[in-house]
Structure 1
Amino acid sequence: MRNSLLTAVLIFAVIFAIAVPTAAQNIPIDEITKITVEGNDYVSDFEILNAVKTEVGDQTDQEALRSDMQAVFELGYFSDVNIVFENFEGGLNVIFEVVENPVLREINISGNGDLYSEAEIKEALDLKLETVLNVKKMNENLKAFQEKMQDDGYILARYKDVNISEEGILTVEISPGYLDSIEISGNTKTKNDVILREMPIEAGDVINIKKIQRGYQNLHRLEFFENINPELQRVESEENLAKLVINLEEGQTGRLNFGGGYSSTDGWLGFVDVSEKNLFGNGQNISAKWQFGDTTTYSLNFYEPYLWQSDFSFGFSVYDRETERTNSDGDDYKRESRGGSITFGHPLPNDWRTSLRYRVQDTKEYWSDDSGIIYDNSLRSLTLGFRRDSTNNRFHPTSGSINDFEIEHAGGIVGGEMKFTKFNWDSRRYFHGFKNHALAVRMKLGLSEATTPLEGEEYDLGGSDSLRGYERSDFDYEDKANNNLLLFNIEYRIPLNESFTGVIFTDAGNVWEDRDSISLNDLYYGYGLGVRMNTPVGQLRLDYGWDEDQDGQLHFSIGNTF
């Protein structure tokens, strides 16, 4: 029997509550001679009775019939189930009276905040129209969809209202949870807009914890702060709101570095390096360097990550370098290089970033006694680059990857006397090792198509940043040019304490003049041990590598190899 009006209103946080059916009262003790169903217009007798364990010929049993009534109710098709009895052929006819849920005619979704399309939500509910609404199945699917929203980062998302009308219209209203505001505290130097532009979420957006985590990583990469502590706080309101509070502790962003050393290619040298990563709290990076000795260099670099508050980045560099050298005949000469570059960048989907760089360089070689010019050349090039960094830590990554791809073209319509096209690919991958150890793997490939000699633009191999155990001069051939490069590096990094990290490494690589000569069977190998030390001026790196002839070579540098 159906009530004249049936409206089931289900409001819940995560899971619907299913009411317990009315228990049969004052069950007479007698033999069951028949079992029937009444009130079902759409659900078949067979499907209902298939859930009933009691059989014809059994004696009536209160607990057994209560269990059968619960089993029928849990089919999900009914808003009420009851049992009545009538005499039949010397025994009892057990009648299961059911009240069917409405036939589902329409599903309306509201309040989802464009998190998912209506079609996606209906697919997740998996309810068929023109059939009796199965509340059990609906509850299970709504619970699964709630878990999906949580897994996708919508941690405040919940069901605000679920309603099925007599006409069979199911309404599902979702409250996704919105960000009321962002509060920043502790930033004494860095401006608020510099911090907020790193957050991929703003007031009024649906709260997604993954976006907040990505914003935390962006702020961490800036290296402006000693500590960053973002937290969500509920806002007292009838709406599903929360505010994001970002607690910061400013760090040291300006540095003055100086030192000296010896290089087999550049001889004795000293340097003074001044840099500021957060100029006037605007997030701009500027640095100036003076290197003196057998090589004298002056350079100035500037980088603006958000040009005029847009998504475009801008950077420029200028330099003047003079080197004193001696040729194979013992004659002294000087090499002068002056130039600079301008670079524009823009983000791409999936954390990729593209950049376009215009580079200018004029190079001249002349005898130290001013007796004449040996070499005079100009370079003008355009470089299109693509980069993606998904590492979990900028300086000590244990997961993620870095991928760089560049195409550089010089000459032709770009100008300059040098003419070439270079393709450079640098791919790095990081893995968790034993305990807090890390495994780092790198592959670097450089290919060039040169119309003019790559004087000063050849690929370098050997030394602290590429093939350890060898010096760069080991691959400077007089009879061929280093037009192509292939390099592999593997490091296993073992943190010893907060200041020191031990490293075991293996390197393999070579350079070739012709691309057709590139072969994995023609690689040079190096291996060795190293240590990294964290200092106020950066990470110092000391490696000792052996070549294939077991000859050892000490390498000293600053920062990770890759």
Structure 2
Amino acid sequence: MRKNLFFGSIILLALLLFSGVTAAQNIPIDEVTKITVEGNEYVSDFEILNSVATEVGDQTDQESLRADMQSIFEMGYFSDVNIVFENYQGGLNVIFEVVENPILKEIEITGNEPIYSRDKILEILDLNLNTVLNVKKMNENLKSLQEKMQDDGYILARFKDVNVSDQGVLTIDISPGYLNSVEISGNTKTDDDVILREMPITAGEVVNIKKIQKGFQNLSRLGYFVNLNPTLERVNPEENTANLVINLEEGKTGNLKFGGGYSSNDGWIGFVDVSEKNLFGNGQNIGVKWQFGDTTTYSLNFYEPYLWDSEFSFGFSVYDRETDRTTSDDLDYLKKSRGGSISLGHPLPNDWRTSLRYKIEDTEEIWNETATANGVSAVEGETIFGSDNELRSMTLSFNRDTSNNRFHPTSGSINNLSVEYAGDFLGGDMDFTKYNLDTRRYYPGFKNHAWALRMKLGLSDRKTPLAGEEYDLGGSDSLRGYERSDFDDEEANNHLLLFNVEYRIPFNDSFTGVIFTDAGNVWADTDSIALDDLSIGYGLGMRMNTPVGQLRLDYGWNEDSDGQLHFSIGNTF
């Protein structure tokens, strides 16, 4: 018996097939009258002979007998197999001499803690103690363990040493492969800390390619960089270490966005939006927006993704909005709103994130008569009635983004679930609860095309009128081919259901064509919600990438085949 069985970093049974099988030389040609086994103590004769093809009555054949020896060896229980002959009853007794592997008494595993627990590895090895070590089974399961480490992202992990002693102690030494350092090149504006905090792996940890890929998805979603190229460089093969080098090229993070459109009710409307999503290279987002037309809005937004270098995010917004419209009854309607919000967020497991927002808004509504409305005469400009509303609400949100690209996703999903509670102990004179779900899915299409799907659901449980908090439908961001005013329920838009499907066809780096179908509606009561009560819109669109952002032009038709042009910025969803 050999004093040691040693197997290299990746153990292959083929290495042993030709060293453990002794070739049968000068085999006498005669009839086989008996077949026996010698040297086995724990593995039964029946189990061994079951793998032998030669039978009593056959003529001896060198190739056949060598194949039998190899079959016995491939059972995995033996470190050596030989064959001898003796005369027996006018023929030959073919004797297979075997040397059994040691009885497996103990399994020692080192270097595995950063990857899997001892129990997990023993489960994969599936070896029984106090039985003859089955080398074939061990090799196959070690190979499975190696493949699992690779599949789970541990691309540097390998077996540093695998051996079994005469005393039956199997020792497995795993070298996981550690990250020596993380180096960054190409950033002239963005702080290193802003980049490193998006990487879920740091120096000293076991190298895991899935964590590295996740980090680069996080960096890509920031929108700060036009090119990202990660490389792993070996440092010390003996210690199995490597450096992660992040090569990147920064893009423009300041944007001037504008958009507009024409409405038969409201005339021309538009907006100008100035934003910086990497303020001073610190990863903060700030934006100022001006909207003009039937609604004039001034707003300021700020977002800090890592408040005081913690996992908490912080944001606030303030706005001043004034809406001026004329209804179909020739009533002038003026609505003034001022308010703001603050929010705190924190990450959750499995890429989810939660946030809590407090919102305050004061609204003033004034109705004037321009001619005669509802049989009531008044001097032009006279105030018929007015109302004031105070909104105080808290919104709890859960969000998850696994899309592969922030601007042109072809796989993954975005999910947003929120509950907004207003009134009661929060104050104000509006009392309601709103439940909102916005889920989006992205799939690859033909060649580099992509499918984009969205479902949006809004439900409200109100004790007082929503008074401006109703759901809006129609226009460039929801149901194209329609105006928002096409979906004003006589009572209130308390509930909403919307479906969007787009097929996106990139022509080149600058232009993308879109074919879309939208379906949706709003209702006053939950009993009225029905899939057969959805309005349908469909059409064609074009996206153009410019230095100031992506411009969007859509032309949609409603169910009456009336067309509507929509002009805005960025993907619909």
Sort the TM-score into its range (normalised by shorter chain). Answer: over 0.9
- Indicate the residue corresponding to 2:567 in structure 1: 556
Matched, 1:538 2:538: no
Q: Secondary structure at the match of 1:235?
A: strand
TM-aligned CA distance change 1:522 to 1:272, over 3 Å = closer
- Indicate the residue corresponding to 1:527 in structure 2: 538
Q: Which residue of the other structure, out of 9, 13, 25, is the alignment partner of 1:12?
A: 9
Matched, 1:487 2:485: no
1:233, CA displacement in angstroms? Answer: 0.8
Higher mean displacement: 11-20 or 332-341: 11-20
Matched, 1:470 2:468: no
1:323, CA displacement in angstroms? Answer: 3.0
Asked if the contact 1:76/1:135 (under 8 Å) is kept, the reply is yes
- Indicate the residue corresponding to 2:401 in structure 1: 389
1:196, CA displacement in angstroms? Answer: 0.5
Q: Which residue of the other structure, out of 432, 445, 459, is the alignment partner of 1:420?
A: 432
Q: Distance in 1 between matches of 2:145 and 2:310?
A: 37
1:527, CA displacement in angstroms? Answer: 1.5
TM-aligned CA distance change 1:127 to 1:265, over 3 Å = farther
Structure 2 counterpart of 1:376, which letter? D
1:263, CA displacement in angstroms? Answer: 4.7
TM-aligned CA distance change 1:66 to 1:269, over 3 Å = closer
TM-aligned CA distance change 1:354 to 1:430, over 3 Å = same
Q: Distance in 1 between matches of 2:293 and 2:61?
A: 103
Count of matched residue positions in the alignment of Structure 1 and Structure 2: 558
TM-aligned CA distance change 1:333 to 1:85, over 3 Å = closer
Q: Which residue of the other structure, out of 410, 419, 423, is the alignment partner of 2:422?
A: 410
Asked if the contact 1:14/1:158 (under 8 Å) is kept, the reply is no
Q: Distance in 2 between matches of 1:96 and 1:449?
A: 84
Structure 2 counterpart of 1:365, which letter? E
Q: Distance in 2 between matches of 1:496 and 1:251?
A: 22
Q: Distance in 2 between matches of 1:54 and 1:329?
A: 103
Asked if the contact 1:364/1:373 (under 8 Å) is kept, the reply is no
Higher mean displacement: 384-393 or 29-38: 29-38
Q: Distance in 1 between matches of 2:210 and 2:546?
A: 33
1:245, CA displacement in angstroms? Answer: 0.4
Asked if the contact 1:113/1:176 (under 8 Å) is kept, the reply is no
1:480-525: CA deviation from partner (whole Å, max 9, x where unpaired): 1110111111112222222222222211111111111111121111
Give the TM-score normalised by structure 1.
Answer: 0.94
Give the TM-score normalised by structure 2.
Answer: 0.93
- Indicate the residue corresponding to 1:345 in structure 2: 345
Higher mean displacement: 157-166 or 350-359: 157-166
1:16-66: CA deviation from partner (whole Å, max 9, x where unpaired): 532421212343444433222111001111121222233334443333322
1:114, CA displacement in angstroms? Answer: 3.4
Asked if the contact 1:15/1:142 (under 8 Å) is kept, the reply is no
Structure 2 counterpart of 1:500, which letter? F
Q: Which consecutive unaligned segments of at least 5 residues does structure 1 have?
A: none
1:258, CA displacement in angstroms? Answer: 5.0
Q: Distance in 2 between matches of 1:526 and 1:310?
A: 45
Asked if the contact 1:113/1:206 (under 8 Å) is kept, the reply is no
TM-aligned CA distance change 1:30 to 1:14, over 3 Å = closer
1:97-117: CA deviation from partner (whole Å, max 9, x where unpaired): 111001112222221133222
1:319, CA displacement in angstroms? Answer: 0.7
Q: Distance in 2 between matches of 1:118 and 1:42?
A: 28
TM-aligned CA distance change 1:256 to 1:526, over 3 Å = closer
Q: Which consecutive unaligned segments of at least 5 residues does structure 2 have?
A: 369-380
Structure 1 segment 222-371 matched on structure 2, within 5 A: 222-258=222-258, 262-263=262-263, 267-269=267-269, 271-327=271-327, 330=330, 332=332, 334-366=334-366
1:397, CA displacement in angstroms? Answer: 1.4
Structure 1 counterpart of 2:159, which letter? Y
Q: Distance in 1 between matches of 2:296 and 2:331?
A: 20
Higher mean displacement: 198-207 or 545-554: 545-554
Asked if the contact 1:266/1:295 (under 8 Å) is kept, the reply is no
- Indicate the residue corresponding to 2:376 in structure 1: none
Structure 2 counterpart of 1:324, which letter? D
Higher mean displacement: 171-180 or 65-74: 65-74
TM-aligned CA distance change 1:140 to 1:237, over 3 Å = closer
